[in-house]
Structure 1
Amino acid sequence: MNISIHNTFLPHTDAEAALGFYRDLLGFEVRNDVGYNGLRWLTVGPAGDATSIVLHPPVVDPGVTEAERETVLNLMAKGVLAAVTLGTDDLDGLFERLEAGGADIVQEPTDQDYGVRDCAFRDPSGNLVRVNQL
C-alpha cells in the first residue's frame, strides 16, 4: 500500500499577494482558483508533483466570533498559526530569488546542528515557509 500527501492547507489574507508569492516567486503552477461569496480558494503546487497547497480564506465559519477571527489573524501575522516545509536541490539559488523578490526572510541558509541545511521566510499572509536542501 502506498500513501502520499495530496493536499496541505495554509490560510491567506490576500489571494493576489498569495498568487504573486507562490506562482510568480516560487514558480508553482495554479491548479485551481475558486471564488465563492467574495472569497477565493487557490490550489498551487510544483509542476510535475501531485502534492498541492490549498490557500484558503481564514476563519470563514459563520460561528466564529470577531474576537476569535482577530486572534487567528494575529497568529497568522506572527507566523505561528501555519507552516509548510518545502525541499529544493538548490537552496542558495532559491534563497537568492526569494530575497531579490522581496520575500520576508526569517533565516538565511544555515547548516543546522541536526543535519539539515535550510532557510525560512514568511509568505504574504505571515505563514512560515521553511525550505530544506535536498
Structure 2
Amino acid sequence: MKIALQYCHITVNDVDESLGFYRDALGLELRNDVASGDFRWVTLGSATQPDLEIVLSEPHAGRSRADGDALQELLVKGMLPMTVFSTDDLDATFERVRASGAEVLQEPIDQPWGPRDSAFRDPSGNMVRIQQAKG
C-alpha cells in the first residue's frame, strides 16, 4: 500500500497578496486557480515534489460563517500552524525572500537538533520556516 501527502492548506487573508510571497519570493509554481462564488483556491507546488500542492484560501472559503470567523481570529493572532520548507541553499533562499519585503523572524542559524534554518511571516502573519540539512 502506498500513501502520500497530496495537499497542504495554508489559510491567508488575501490570495493575491499571498501569491507574491509563495510564488514570487519562494519560487513555487502556480498550478491551479479555482473560483467558487465569492472565493477561490489557488494551488502551488515545486518541481521537486510534483505530486504535492499547497492550497491557499481565505478563512471563509468553503466554511460556515462561524467557522470562518474563528479561523480568521486565529490567523490575525498568528496562531495557525507554521509551514516548513526545505532548500538546498538556505542563504540564497533567505536573501530572495528578505528582498521581497517579507517580515524576517529569524536569520539563518545552525540549530542544535540538526538543520540550519530561518523564519519569516507571510503577508497574512503565518510563520514560515525554511531549512537546509547539514552536510
Normalising by structure 1, we get a TM-score of 0.88
**Counterpart position of 2:31:** 31
Q: 1:95 to 1:78 in 2, by over 3 A?
A: farther
The CA distance in 2 between the partners of 1:52 and 1:46, in whole Å, is 8
Superposition pairs of residues 63-102 of structure 1, within 5 angstroms? 63-64=65-66, 69=69, 71-102=70-101
**Counterpart position of 2:58:** 57
Contact kept in structure 2, 1:10 and 1:83, CA below 8 Å: no
Deviation string, structure 1 residues 44-83 (Cα, Å, up to 9, x no partner): 0112422111111213422517xx71x5324213332132
User: What is the Cα-based RMSD across aligned positions, in Å?
Assistant: 1.7
Q: 1:114 to 1:133 in 2, by over 3 A?
A: same
The CA distance in 2 between the partners of 1:48 and 1:115, in whole Å, is 22
The CA distance in 2 between the partners of 1:97 and 1:12, in whole Å, is 21
3-state DSSP of counterpart to 1:19: helix
Identity %: 45
Pairing 1:107–2:106 present: yes
The CA distance in 2 between the partners of 1:48 and 1:92, in whole Å, is 19
The CA distance in 2 between the partners of 1:115 and 1:63, in whole Å, is 42
Give the number of equivalent residue pairs.
Answer: 131
Contact kept in structure 2, 1:11 and 1:82, CA below 8 Å: no
The CA distance in 2 between the partners of 1:56 and 1:82, in whole Å, is 15
Identify unmatched segments of 5+ residues in structure 2. Answer: none
Letter in 1 for 2:64: P
